[in-house]
Amino acid sequence: MKPERSLRLSIWEGTLAVLFLYWTTGVLVTGYALALGAPPLALALLGSLPFLAQLTAPLALFMRGSRRALTVRLNLASRLLFLPALLAPFLP
């Protein structure tokens, strides 16, 4: 791959990653959880979940072996896990 194309793709990937992090962490998620009526314990778990998930990374890498395959699978899973949260207000 040409360096110019690689750089352009890297910039787009970084931009999209920052946008995703902005919309799925911090004040926006806390406000959304409060609007849904989340208790303080749920807010604490919501804030600590990414850090707790990092504790399992060495074990997952040891079991998987391939860092690239593990990264792709976990990134896909992290993006898909926010779909139920987006649909929560429409549940009966």
| pLDDT tens profile 48-86 | 887 887 888 888 888 877 888 888 888 888 778 878 877
pLDDT at 56: 83
Which residues form the domain of 81?
3-90
pLDDT at 11: 92
State the Cα–Cα distance between residues 74 and 59, nearest whole angstrom.
13
pLDDT at 24: 73
pLDDT at 82: 77
Q: Give the count of domains, the chain.
A: 1
| pLDDT for residue 39 is more than 90 | yes
State the Cα–Cα distance between residues 67 and 15, nearest whole angstrom.
23
State the Cα–Cα distance between residues 74 and 57, nearest whole angstrom.
10
pLDDT at 41: 92
